[in-house]
Chain A
Amino acid sequence: MRESKSMSETATAPVLTAKDFATDQEVRWCPGCGDYSILAQVQKVMPTLGIPRENIVIISGIGCSSRFPYYMNTYGMHSIHGRATAIASGLKASRPELSVWIVSGDGDSLSIGGNHTIHLLRRNFDVNLLVFNNQIYGLTKGQYSPTSEENKVTKSTPFGSIDHPFNPLALAMGADASFVARTMDRDPKHLQAMLLRTNQHKGASFLEIYQNCNIFNDGAFEVFTEKGSKAQETLFLEQGKPLLFGAGSDKGIKLDGFTPKVVNLADGYSADDLWIHDEQDIYKAQILTRIFDDPKVEGHLPRPFGVFYENDRPCYEEIMALQIEDAKARKTADLDALLKGKETWTIV
Chain B
Amino acid sequence: MARKQEVLQDVVIKFAGDSGDGMQLTGTQFTNNTALLGIDLSTFPDFPAEIRAPIGTIPGVSGFQLRFSSDRVFTPGDACDVLVAMNAAALKANLGALKKGGKIIVNTDGFDSKNLRLANYPDGENPLENGSLENYEVIRIDVTKMTREALKEFQMGMKEKDRAKNMFVLGFLYWLYGRDMSNTTDFLKEKFGKKPDILDSNMKVLQAGYNYGDTTEAFAITYKVEKAKMPSGTYRSVMGNQSLAYGLIAAAQVSGLPMFLGTYPITPASDILHELSRHKNFGIRTFQAEDEIAAITSAIGASYGGALGVTTTSGPGMALKAEAMGLAVMLEVPLVIINVQRGGPSTGLPTKTEQSDLLQAYYGRNGECPMPVISASTPADCFEAVYEAVRISVQHMTPVIFLSDGYIANGAEPWKFPATADLPPIHVKFKTELGHGEEKLQPYLRDEKLARPWAVPGTAGLEHRIGGLEKQNITGNISYDPENHQLMVKIRQEKVDKIAEYIPEQKIDSGAAKGKVLVLGWGSTFGAIKSAVSELIAAGHEVSHAHLRYVRPFPKNLGEILKSFDTVLVPEINNGQLIKILRDVYLVDAKPYNKIMGVPITKTELVEEIRKYL
Binding site for B on A (CB under 8 A): 23, 25, 52-57, 59, 62, 69-70, 72-80, 83, 86-95, 97-98, 115-116, 119, 320, 323-324, 326-328, 330-333, 335-336, 338-341, 343-348
Contact = CB atoms under 8 A, between A and B. Distances in A.
13 contacts: A23-B465, A52-B460, A57-B305, A62-B468, A87-B300, A91-B304, A92-B301, A94-B305, A333-B282, A336-B419, A338-B246, A343-B236, A345-B36
A86 B281 contact: no
A344 B32 contact: no
A345 B294 contact: no
Given A25-B477, A54-B457, A343 B183 contact: yes
Nearest to B258: A94
A88 B457 CA distance: 12
B101 interface: no
Contacts of B467: 69-70, 77-79
B462 interface: yes
**Quick one: which of B301, B457, B458, B469 has the most chain A CB within 10 A?**
B301
Given A77-B465, A345-B36, 9 more contacts: A54-B457, A83-B327, A89-B289, A93-B260, A116-B297, A119-B289, A336-B419, A345-B37, A345-B38
A224 B294 CA distance: 35
A335 B290 CA distance: 31
B185 to A, nearest CB: 13
Contacts, number: 205
B468 A323 contact: no
A173 B266 CA distance: 30
Contacts of A77: 304, 331, 465-467
B465 A69 contact: yes
Q: Which 9 A-B pairs have the closest CB atoms?
A: A90-B298, A78-B467, A90-B301, A327-B280, A91-B301, A87-B301, A86-B294, A76-B465, A75-B457
Contacts of B301: 59, 86-94
A165 B265 CA distance: 32
A173 to B, nearest CB: 19
**Quick one: which of B279, B290, B307 has the most chain A CB within 10 A?**
B290
Contact of B298 (A78, A89, A98): A89
B234 interface: yes
A76 B455 CA distance: 12
Nearest to B457: A75
A19 to B, nearest CB: 14
Interface string B410-423: 00000001111000
A77 B302 CA distance: 12
Nearest to B257: A94
Interface in B221-276: 227, 230-238, 246, 249-250, 253, 258, 260, 262
A5 B40 CA distance: 66
A347 B38 contact: yes
Nearest to B282: A333
A343 B35 contact: yes
Nearest to B245: A338
B478 to A, nearest CB: 7
B285 A338 contact: no
Given A52-B460, A57-B457, A91 B302 contact: yes
A78 B235 contact: no
A297 to B, nearest CB: 36
A74 B463 contact: yes
A324 B420 CA distance: 22
A326 B417 CA distance: 28
B191 interface: no
B299 interface: yes
Given A87-B304, A93-B302, A95-B457, A338 B279 contact: yes
Given A59-B301, A94-B260, A54 B283 contact: no
Nearest to B298: A90
B297 A87 contact: yes
B293 interface: yes
Contacts of A91: 301-302, 304-305, 457
Nearest to A95: B305
B232 A98 contact: no
B465 A90 contact: no
A88 B307 CA distance: 13
Contacts of A338: 246, 249, 279, 282
Given A86-B294, A346-B235, A332 B305 contact: no
Contacts of B299: 90
A324 B302 contact: no
Interface in B80-96: none
B580 interface: no
Nearest to A119: B290
A94 B307 contact: yes
A335 B250 contact: yes
B332 to A, nearest CB: 12
Nearest to B311: A90
A264 to B, nearest CB: 47
B465 A346 contact: no
A327 B286 CA distance: 13
Contacts of A347: 38, 227, 230-235
Nearest to B303: A90
